[in-house]
Structure 1
C-alpha cells in the first residue's frame, strides 16, 4: 500500500519527536496558514480534518470489522488524514491505524483489489485506495471507546478546500491549513503539476483574500523563487515577526 509509510513514520519515529508539545501529520498536497504556528488544541484533544470516505455501507462494514478484531466502536466517522495533537496521541493512533490497515488488507480485500486492478470501480462504497482512512477509522473509534484519547473532527479548523472562494477564513484566521482535493477548479494540484498555471500573473492575486488566491500565490511563488530566495524570504519573515 503506497501510503503506509506516512503512518509508519509516526509510529516508528516517535522517539525522534516525542520531546515536542504537538505534532502535525498531513498529506503533501496542503498549504499551511501562518496562524497555524500559534494554535494550541483545546483540552489536549487530538484533532483530525474531515474525510469524505464514509457511506452507510462502509460504516456498517467497518463496525462489523471492528467487532471481528475485538475493537470497540463508538460510531464516529468522517475523520480526515490530517492529524494534530500530542506526540503520544499520534503514536497511539498510528500504531492502531497500522494494525487496522494490515487486518483490512489481509482479510477484507481480495488480491485484484490490492493490486489496483479494479481501479475505482467500488468507490465510494469500498475502495482499497483509502485503506489508510479505513484503518484510521477503526483506530480512532477503538481509542476513543477505551478512553485513550479525545478527538475533535476539525471541520472548521483543518483541510479547507483550495477551491474555496470565500474570504472570512483568511481574514479572520479561523482555518489552519488548505487541502487540495480532486478537482480541476482552481487551485487544482493536477493543473499545477501539468504546468497550466505557468503563465499566471501573480499580480492579479495580490489583494485577493480567498483561499484560492492564497494557494495560487504560495504555489507559484515557491516555484518561481530559487532556494536562496526562499531562504532569505523565510529569514526576513522570521526577523520581522
Structure 2
C-alpha cells in the first residue's frame, strides 16, 4: 500500500526538507493536490488527529500527504503560512491554498477533501479498516484522558510559553509597550509620592520634637 508507506516515511517526522518537497510538487504540478499538516508533538489534539490523517492518506492515494513537525521548522515559516495553532491542515495546488476549519472527525475531513478536490473517497480494504478502527479507538480513549488537562497550560506560565509561544511573546510585547508609554507618567507620580511621603515624615518629626526657643 504505497500511500501508507508515504505516510509512515514522511508522516510525523516532517521537517523543512519535507515541506520543500511538498512545495516542489505543487510548483511543478506533479500532483493535482498536496496535503500538508502542521502539528506539534506536545499537542494532544495533534495526536488525536493522527488516525484521521492516516486514513485520509489511504483513502486519497492520488494526494501526497506530508506532516510537518512544529519544532523542526523555523517560526518564520509557521508565520508565513498563518499557523498559530495545531493541528493545521492545508490542501495545496499551484493555484490555491485551502485551510481546513472543522472538527477532527474523518467524516468532516473527507467532506472537506471532496468539496475542495472533487475526488471521491477510495474504499478501504478490510485489514486497513480494522487497523484504522483500532487506532481510532485507542486515540479516542487516550484523548479522553488528556481532555481534562489539555488546558492546564492556562495555569502554568512555563507551559504557556511552550505551547502558545506566539501568544506569550505578543502579550509580553504589549505589556512592555504599555510600560514604555506610561513610564514618564509613572515616574512623575512616583516622584510626587516620594516627596509627599518625605514631607509628611518631616512634618511628623517636627510635631513630635518641636524646636525650643
**TM-score category by the smaller chain?**
under 0.3
User: Normalization by structure 1: what TM-score?
Assistant: 0.23
| Structure with the greater alpha carbon radius of gyration | 2
| Relative contact order higher in (CA < 8 Å, ≥ 6 apart) | 1
- Structure whose residues are more often helix by fraction: 2
User: Normalization by structure 2: what TM-score?
Assistant: 0.25
